Amino acid sequence: MQFVDTHTHLFSPSFDEDRTEIVQRAIKAGVETMLLPNIDVESIEPMYNLCAQFPQNCFPMMGLHPGSVDENWEENLEIIRTNLFERKNCAVGEIGMDLYWDKTFVNEQAEAFRRQVNWAKELNLPIVIHAREAFDEIFAIVDELNDERLTGVFHCFTGTLEQAKKIQNYGGFKLGIGGVLTYKKAGLDEILKDVELSELILETDSPYLPPTPHRGKRNESAYLLHIAEKLADVKGVSLSEVAKITSKNANKLFKLS
b/e burial code for range 130-169 (CB count within 10 A of at least 16 → b) = bbbebbebbbebbeebbeeebbbbbbbbbbeeebbebbbe
CATH of the domain at 225: 3.20.20.140
Q: Could you tell me the pTM of the whole model?
A: 0.98
> What domain range includes position 7?
3-253
At 194 the pLDDT is: 97
Q: What is the pLDDT of residues 125-138, one digit of tens each?
A: 999 999 999 999 99
pLDDT for the residue numbered 59? 98
Q: Express each pLDDT in 66-90 by its tens digit.
A: 999 999 999 999 999 999 999 999 9
**Mean per-residue pLDDT, 220-239:** 98
What are the tens digits of pLDDT across the range 22-60? Answer: 999 999 999 999 999 999 999 999 999 999 999 999 999
Q: Output 227-232 pairs: Cβ under 8 A, ≥24 positions apart.
A: 227/177, 227/178, 227/179, 227/181, 227/182, 227/202, 227/203, 228/3, 228/202, 230/181, 230/182, 230/189, 231/177, 231/181, 231/192, 231/197, 231/200, 231/202
For residue 102, the model assigns a pLDDT of 84
Mean pLDDT of the chain: 97
CA dist., res. 206 & res. 62, Å (int): 17
Mean pLDDT value of segment 5-22: 98
Q: What is the per-residue pLDDT for 126?
A: 98
Q: Answer whether 229's CB lies under 8 Å from 214's CB.
A: no
Confidence of residue 101 (pLDDT cuts 50, 70, 90): confident
pLDDT in tens, 153-206: 999 999 999 999 999 999 999 999 999 999 999 999 999 999 999 999 999 999
pLDDT of residue 257: 73
- CA–CA distance from 64 to each of 31, 117, 198 (Å)? 26, 11, 28
234 pLDDT higher than 90: yes
The β-bridge relationship of strands 92-98 and 58-60 is unpaired
Q: What pLDDT is attached to residue 64? A: 98
Q: Is the pLDDT of residue 15 over 80?
A: yes
Q: How far is CA 42 from CA 91, 117, 248, in A?
A: 18, 21, 32
Structural domains in the chain (count): 1
